[in-house]
Structure formats: C-alpha cells, structure tokens
A and B are shown apart, each in its own frame.
Chain A
Amino acid sequence: MPESLSASGAHDEAEELLPWYATGQLDAAERVRVEAHLSSCADCRRQLTSERRLIQEFRDLAPEVDAGWDRLRRRIEPQRPGRYRPRLRGRAWNVVRHPAITALAAAQVGFLVLTGGLLLSLSRPDYHALGSTPASSSADVIVIFRADATEEDVRATLRAANASIVGGPTEADAYLLQIPRQQRKQGLARLRADDEVQMAEPIDEASR
C-alpha cells in the first residue's frame, strides 16, 4: 500500500485519512496535508461531510454495565475474601463523553476555522459568522443545557428538535448542534421552549 499511496498523490492520501481527520486523530503533518487538500477538493469535502454523519450514527450505545459488573464480580469474589464494598454510580454520559465525539468536536472546530466559515468564540453565547460560507456539515445552533438535565432529558430534547450534536462541550459547557435546514427554525423554537435548555442560539446567518 505505501507504494500506491505515494504514487496516487494527495487526493488518495487525503481520502484514505479522512476518517481519522474527522475524529481528530491525525498527527500535525498529516492534518496539514489533508487540510491543504480539502481546501481545493470539493469531492473530499463532501466525503468529510459523509464521514461526520457516519460518526454521528455510530455513537449510540446502551451498555448494561451494572449487570455485567455483578456477573464478573461473582467470578472474582470466590478468589478473594471479602473486603469488597460495592459502589453505586449513575449512568455514564456516553453520548457526549466518549472519545470519538470529543475528538470530532475538536476536528470540527479546526475545519470550520480552516474554511473561514466560523470563528468560534466559545466564551460568549452569541455567535457570529465572520467569513465566507460555512462548511455544509457545520453547526447550526449552540445550546447550553441546564446543569441538572439528565442524559435522557438531553436525548429527548435533541430528538424533539431533530438535532444532532456535532461539537462540544465547550469550556462554557455549550454544545454545537446540527439541525436539518428545513426543520431549523422549528427545532430552534423547540429548544428554546424546552425546560432543560438554558440557552439556544442560531450560529449561521441563514437561520437568523
């Protein structure tokens, strides 16, 4: 593969590396090469959009961790006399805490800056589009959920608004959402009306 890779040029290399570009897993030199190619290749930009959508679809899981742990503990405890005290813990925030989504958020911000579509000032609630047209996969809405919102609350809110998380949490605990263009206005209204939402603001010009 290395021979064909070097011979087939920047496009083939970028195309092959796109999944790891989208998840923020390339080293600096690779990232620079991919970004240089992306800036001039509409096909790869489209593919990057597809990659991000695939990643979004792949993120969901519902592990039954307590049942699994109880099962394994029963195998271990006979080996080890009883100083063990079980701990209780709430359900993990798998959707927004797992590494792919965190990396995706970082990569997303990097790509948006690259394309000049958005300058993400993460400390202020009102976003402004400062450059040219944002990438088609860019975030549409920035949202901050109430601190006591549960994972189920957030899921329900996102579903009701037909929104997907494409970035965050930012330092201000905000999330960047994508809502299909035709549902954006309605989705934004739903977010704003939702008790679990502290703040929801559009990002791009089109939804203002």
Chain B
Amino acid sequence: MGAQNDKELLARVSARDLQAFERLYRSFQPRLVRFLTNILQRPQLVEEVIDDTMMVVWQSADKFRGSSKPSTWIFSIAYRKALKARARWPDPLPDDETDMQVSTDPEPDEQLQHQRLRDALREAMTHLSPEHRAVVDLTYFHGMGYREIADIVDCPVDTVKTRMFHARRRLKQALAGNFADWL
C-alpha cells in the first residue's frame, strides 16, 4: 500500500471511518509487530505498544500534517511508545522464540545450518541496544532510507548511519565464528 493510499485512509480515519482504520491497521500491524518485537522482545509488550500506537493514530489522525509519509508518522509514534514501555520493563527476557519450521527436506544438514544461522542472527540481535535494533530492522526489513529512519527515531542522519555501521559490524562479528563462509 502506497503513501498516498495511507494518506487517504488517514483522512478517512480522522472522520472516524472504522473500516478505513481497519485497512490501515491491517497494513501496518504486521510491520509494527516486526519492528516492535525487535525492539522490545516481549510479545505481550509488543501487543500493548501496537494497540497504544494505533489508538493514538485513531484519536489523532486529524493532527497528521502530511509533511512526512504516514508510515514515518506511525512508526515514530510506535518507536516513542516502545522506548517508554522499555523504560518500564528494562530487562529483556531471554530470547525464547523458536523456529517451528518442520523440515521435509532430504538435506537436513543444509536446513539445520540455515536454522542455526537464523538462531545465531536472532541471538546476535538481542545483544544490540534497542536503538540499534530499530535502525537495523527499519533498514533491512522495512526497506527505509536513512533519512526516513532519522525522522522516526528523531536523531541526525549521521547517527543513523553510525548506528547501522556498528550494528552490522556486531552482527557480522557474532556470525563470523560458525558462519564465516556464509558471510
């Protein structure tokens, strides 16, 4: 869904159009789940922050000025809410996410290696700060440019680049031992 569609939906949301809000929610919820899970690493907190974020969108859509993309505005709300939620729950839980993939592939070594890689990557992410995880996720998964990310996390663009640079180095260092060939 493009930014123009999102803008039209936001305009309808500001007029209390619940169906437009559902469309907006369904468009953003998967992305916010992903983004917030990376920052917060607690499923229950993720739900809470998504709900709070989208409630702000529902209640404040008329305040959206249109100077940025709707996605920038919504992600920036989510980011602020996530950092606040994190302040209330400062200690991250151990990563208990498990890959439920059942392999039917006759080459278990390859599958196993892939799963181990993903586990290692997930584990490496937990050692980054929430601020670094946010930049990594917005870049790699959400496909955002560094200027948009700077707007979302409210910091200079050079800080975004620096965070990304250090995060990449940390991730690659974490994978270098067992996955040097992959890198």
Contacts and interface: CB of A to CB of B under 8 A. Distances in A.
Q: Specify whether A and B are partners.
A: yes
Interface of A: 1-2, 5, 15-17, 19-20, 23-26, 50-51, 53-55, 57-59, 61, 63-65, 68-69, 71-73, 75-76, 80, 83-87, 89, 92, 94, 98-104, 156, 159-160, 162, 180, 183
Interface residues of B, number: 49
A84 B146 contact: no
B143 A180 contact: no
B19 interface: yes
B50 to A, nearest CB: 6
A86 B29 CA distance: 17
Contacts of B55: 72, 75-76
A19 B140 contact: yes
Interface stretch (B75-83, B88-96, B156-164): B156-164
B118 to A, nearest CB: 6
B110 A162 contact: yes
Contacts of A5: 158
B161 A16 contact: yes
Contacts of A65: 26, 29-30
A37 B161 CA distance: 18
Interface in B123-165: 136-137, 139-146, 158-159, 161-162, 164-165
B139 A20 contact: yes
B183 interface: yes
Q: Looking at chain B's contact residues, is the secondary structure mostly helix, strand, loop, or mixed?
A: helix
A71 B29 contact: no
Contacts of A160: 104-105
B143 A102 contact: yes
Interface in B99-130: 101, 103-105, 107, 110-111, 117-118, 121
B140 A53 contact: no
Contacts of A55: 140-141
B141 A68 contact: no
B34 interface: yes
Nearest to A68: B29
B143 A1 contact: no
B29 A23 contact: no
Contacts of B29: 63, 65, 68-69
